[in-house]
Chains A and B, each alone.
Chain A
Amino acid sequence: AQSVTQLDSHVSVSEGTPVLLRCNYSSSYSPSLFWYVQHPNKGLQLLLKYTSAATLVKGINGFEAEFKKSETSFHLTKPSAHMSDAAEYFCVVSDLGIAGTASKLTFGTGTRLQVTL
């Protein structure tokens, strides 16, 4: 069974400083990995995805993540935090939606990012 572990339930950074949100995954095969963001009272928005191409994935709003198979990690980073980045972030693993099977997403428990002045 596949799973993800988000190592921090809450991260607080100052505006303009780097962001690091940590995620480890477990999967019996090469996974598809995603980061989603959820702002208060809003739906989930895809930040970026890894699907076995380049290991360094660039997403929207300056976020990027690096897939490290040896460490089973997929950490999310941003060089400089902005107040608008304050939200809940979810690391997600998925199967590839092979014909005849459901492409189920398995979410981590989330990391709340707080950005202070």
Chain B
Amino acid sequence: ETGVTQSPTHLIKTRGQQVTLRCSSQSGHNTVSWYQQALGQGPQFIFQYYREEENGRGNFPPRFSGLQFPNYSSELNVNALELDDSALYLCASSVRGLMAEQFFGPGTRLTVL
């Protein structure tokens, strides 16, 4: 069984640029959630996707957007990058309705200069 994978591992961008992060769900999982973990903080919920539609969103602006594909993989897109967007971005997959247990990928470290 393949776990949750994310790419790239690290990424450096400059302020104002756009970035796309990718996530492959664990086999059999139909729900993907994205979290932002700033340095020294706990992860913060960005949004969740189920059946290719956004299904719940945290306190993040619209320049954070996402996609889920028919194979349940997902992308996180961030436009107009700001310095405060520098963080570890975590993807988690789960099976909807099974007590919310989520399985996390290793994350993508984004640095905005």
- Is A96 within 8 A of B43, CB to CB? no
Q: Which residues of A contact B41 (CB under 8 A)?
A: 109-110
- Is B43 within 8 A of A44, CB to CB? yes
**Count, chain A residues at interface, CB 8 A:** 26
Q: Known contacts being A101-B56, A104-B56, is A44 close to B97, with CB within 8 Å? A: no
Q: What does the 1/0 interface line of B31-48 toward A look like (CB < 8 Å)?
A: 101010000111111011
B98 part of interface (Cβ distance < 8 Å): yes
Min Cβ gap A6→B in Å is 8
Residues of chain B in range 11-40 having any CB-CB distance to chain A below 8 Å: 31, 33, 35, 40
- Is A96 within 8 A of B99, CB to CB? yes
A20 part of interface (Cβ distance < 8 Å): no
Q: Which residues of B contact A44 (CB under 8 A)?
A: 43, 90, 92, 104
- Is B104 within 8 A of A43, CB to CB? yes
Q: Which residues of B contact A94 (CB under 8 A)?
A: 100
Neighbour of B97 across the interface among A32, A36, A51, A99, CB < 8 A: A99
Min Cβ gap A68→B in Å is 20
The interface of chain A, by Cβ under 8 A from chain B, is: 32, 34, 36, 42-46, 49, 51, 90, 94-97, 99, 101-110
A-B contact pairs, 10 of them (CB 8 A): A45-B104, A46-B103, A49-B101, A102-B48, A102-B55, A105-B33, A105-B100, A106-B45, A107-B35, A108-B42
